[in-house]
Every structure is written in structure tokens, then in C-alpha cells.
Amino acid sequence: MNNIYIYLNQTLFLDNTLFSWLIFLLIILISFLIRKNISNRIIDYFFQKIQLQNSDKNINKILVKPINKLIFMIFLFIAFNQLEYPKEWNLVSENNFGIKMITKKGYLLFLSVFIIDFFLKGIYLFGEFLKEKASKTKSKLDDQLIPFAIDSLKILTIIIGIFIIIGNIFNVNITALAAGLGVGGIAIAMASKESLENLFGSFTIFLDRPFTVGDIVNIGQITGVVEKVGFRSTRIRTFDKSLVTVPNKKMVDAELDNLGLRPVRRAKFNIGLTYDTTQEQIKKIVNDIQDLIDKHPKTNNDGRVRFMEFGASSLDVMVLFYVNSTNWDDFINTKENINYEIMSIIKEHGSSFAFPTSSIYIEKN
């Protein structure tokens, strides 16, 4: 055993003993074996009070990877400290451009990126936690402000991280860089005119509040539920479940109908009865449908049922009513229920629905 130890300490590879190389590999191996366990312990200790109801957004799933990377970088630093650069390479110091400088700055760059990634994941986690809290309140304003604030915090973190990397790793004079950006600020502003307009549009949305997250809005040909208001755009989920992204400038400038602010939802359609329906039958059908709408628990008393006109193939009865809810599911369920009742009323009075027909007369010579 002593001979093995002597052999490992006397045999050199790239100016480092085999024992040093063995320690190097052992530290790397240990980092792979224990980093996940350390990550879980850190998460349990520091984040045990934060619990997300959605299992897809589990804290461990969000934070374990960035913490694993940071732990590996720490072990990697310890491992490389066991080795020295070969003397025959005649490398310049790490203060001058060369392999030593590239290695050091490359390590610091990756470490900085992993730290920024960890903070971004933490901000995301904090945002999801706040969203769940906000979803339990009556106000919709916090549902809209929290995503915007979290996005702002992420952008601020990235900007600060970039300046730290540029200043501390690449030794760039931040003051001179900021002054240079100030000179070129006008050119940048002109180039990003549309982005700035969208940004100011987002501020207008938050200050004026023409709508909030969860409202049903109609803008142009788009109708759906507002899911998120971001820096540049607003995301709307249409009723066919597609996600439409609308620039905030358009949301502010265009005519927007906030359907969510209506106290009721309107339903209006025509019923076509066959031409063999008598006047008395029509009167009874109209009265019964009117009575149905007036007494329905989900509608108000502003509904109207009228025999409107003589159609090409039918006697047209207009049905108009208002559902006392802005919820889409409540609306379509109420409308369906009333439609079934209308079918029963028409059948009860001996009439039927008309459909387009045509008669052909053939003359005999």
C-alpha cells in the first residue's frame, strides 16, 4: 500500500503527480454523486415555506438544475486547484492574454451565467407563488400587475448581470460604456421606436385600465380572454383556444370592446315556422316563449319575442334575451336550455321548424 502511495506521488503526468490527478478526478466524481442531495437539502431549508399547488411547477423541478450547476462549478474550482499548469508550456500570467486568462475568465463567465440563471428561476418561482395568492383575491389588478412586475425584475436582473460580467470579467469601464450608450441613445430609440410605443402602451393599460387579466375583450376580428399583459404585447386566448398576441400599441389605439364589463350577455336569433302555422298558433308560441324567458332564473325581464316578418320559406319569430352573467359557460348553457324549451313549445302547439323549400309547376301542353 505504501509503495502505491509512493508511486502515485512520484510519477508525473503534465507536471502533476498521479496522486493529484486522482484527487482531481475524485472531487469531480464526488460532485456528480452528491450535488443532487445537496441541492435538495438547500431547497428544503431555504424554500420549505413556499409551496405551489400545481405539481408541474414543483420547487425542486425549478431550482434543482441551477443549484446543481453552481455546486458543480464550486467542486470544479476545488478540483482544478489540485493541479498546476505544466512548466514546459511557458504560459504567461493570468493578467496577460493567454491560456491562463482564457481559463479563468471562461470559468468566471460560466459561473456568472449560472448564478444569473439561478436568480431568474428564483424570480419565476416567487412570481408563481404570488400568482397563486393573487388568484384567491377578488381583485383582478394584482393578477395583471404581478406578471408585469416579475418580467420587469427578470429584465433588471439580466441587465445587472450583463454589466457585472462586462465590468468584472472583461474589465470594461462601465462609466465610459454608459456614456457611450447615452450618446447613441437617440439612434437606439429611433431604431426601436415601435418597441418603445408598445412599452408606453403597456404603461397606459396599467394606468388607464381599459381591461384586466381575465376580461373578455373584442378588438378588430379578435375576441377572447386576456391572459397576460407584457412589456410589448397582450396575449388573448380566443374561444377556439388559440393564443393571439396583440401589440400593446394596437390595444391602446384601436377601438376595444370590453365584453367583461357588461352586466349581461345578449342572445338574439330568429325562429322560422312553417307557413301552415295558424295565427293562433303563432300567438301562443310567442306568448309561451316570452313567458319562458321572463321566468327563467338566468335571464332578466328585458327579453322580447315577436313575430317579425314573412320569410321566403318561413314565418320568422325573433327571440331576444339577456343572460345575467358575463361567464361564457353560463351563457351557452342558458342558451342551450332555452333552445330545448323552445323546441318543446313549438311541438306542443302543433307547429314545426321551416326549412328552405321550392315548388316546381309543370304545364301540360
Task: Take residue 191 and report the three cell numbers written for it.
Answer: 431604431
Q: Indicate whether 168 belongs to any domain.
A: yes
* Residue 55 confidence (pLDDT): 45
Q: Indicate whether 22 belongs to any domain.
A: yes
**Percent of the chain's residues with pLDDT above 70:** 81
Task: Flag whether pLDDT at 166 surpasses 60.
Answer: yes
Does 97 lie in the same domain as 180?
Answer: yes
Does 222 lie in the same domain as 116?
Answer: no
pLDDT-based confidence at residue 98 (cuts at 50, 70, 90): low
User: How far apart are the C-alpha atoms of 140 and 144, rounded to whole Å?
Assistant: 7
Task: Flag whether pLDDT at 138 surpasses 50.
Answer: yes
Cβ partners under 8 Å of residue 106, min gap 6? none
Task: Flag whether pLDDT at 242 surpasses 60.
Answer: yes
Which stretch of 60-64, 269-273, 275-279, 340-344 has the lowest confidence by average pLDDT?
Answer: 60-64
* Residue 193 confidence (pLDDT): 66
Q: Indicate whether 92 belongs to any domain.
A: yes
**Percent of the chain's residues with pLDDT above 90:** 22
Choose the final residue of a domain: 189, 220, 239: 189
Choose the final residue of a domain: 189, 207, 240: 189
**Whole-prediction pTM:** 0.54
pLDDT-based confidence at residue 71 (cuts at 50, 70, 90): confident
Does 161 lie in the same domain as 283?
Answer: no
Q: Report whether 194 contacts 249 (CB < 8 A).
A: yes
The larger pLDDT score, comparing residue 267 to residue 260, is at 267
**Stated length of the chain:** 365
Does 244 lie in the same domain as 316?
Answer: no
The arithmetic mean of pLDDT across residues 56-67, rounded, is 73
For the chain, the domain total comes to: 3
In the chain, which ranges are continuous DSSP H helix? 2-10, 18-46, 59-80, 99-134, 141-164, 174-183, 185-191, 193-208, 248-253, 279-295, 328-348
Does 311 lie in the same domain as 226?
Answer: no
Closest by Cα among 154, 66, 156, 159 to 111: 66
Closest by Cα among 198, 196, 195, 244 to 217: 244
Does 175 lie in the same domain as 313?
Answer: no
Q: Indicate whether 356 belongs to any domain.
A: no
Closest by Cα among 216, 211, 214 to 259: 216
pLDDT-based confidence at residue 338 (cuts at 50, 70, 90): very high
* Residue 91 confidence (pLDDT): 60
Choose the final residue of a domain: 261, 288, 316: 261
Does 103 lie in the same domain as 223?
Answer: no
Q: Within a 10 A sphere around the Cβ of 29, how many other Cβ atoms?
A: 12
Cell 373584442 maps to which residue? 218
- Letter for the amino acid at 175? T
CATH of the domain at 338: 3.30.70.100
Q: Indicate whether 365 belongs to any domain.
A: no
The arithmetic mean of pLDDT across residues 337-355, rounded, is 93
Task: Take residue 40 and report the three cell numbers written for it.
Answer: 435538495
Does 144 lie in the same domain as 118?
Answer: yes
- Letter for the amino acid at 122? G
Characterize 40-71 residue by residue with b for buried, 16 or more Cβ atoms within 10 angstroms of its Cβ, and e for exposed: eeebeeebeeeebeeeeeebeebbbbbbbbbb
Q: Indicate whether 359 belongs to any domain.
A: no
Does 185 lie in the same domain as 45?
Answer: yes
Long-range contacts of 275-280 (CB under 8 A, 24+ apart): 275/313, 275/314, 275/315, 275/354, 277/315, 277/351
Task: Flag whether pLDDT at 56 surpasses 50.
Answer: no
Q: Could you tell me the residue range of the domain that residue 293 belongs to?
A: 265-348
User: How far apart are the C-alpha atoms of 249 and 202, rounded to whole Å?
Assistant: 8
Does 212 lie in the same domain as 132?
Answer: no
Torsion sign, CA atoms 59, 61, 64, 69: negative
* Residue 352 confidence (pLDDT): 92
Does 224 lie in the same domain as 207?
Answer: yes
Task: Flag whether pLDDT at 23 surpasses 70.
Answer: yes
pLDDT-based confidence at residue 164 (cuts at 50, 70, 90): confident
Torsion sign, CA atoms 101, 103, 106, 107: negative
pLDDT tens, 118-127?
Answer: 888 888 888 8
Does 163 lie in the same domain as 29?
Answer: yes
Across the chain, what does the average pLDDT equal?
Answer: 81
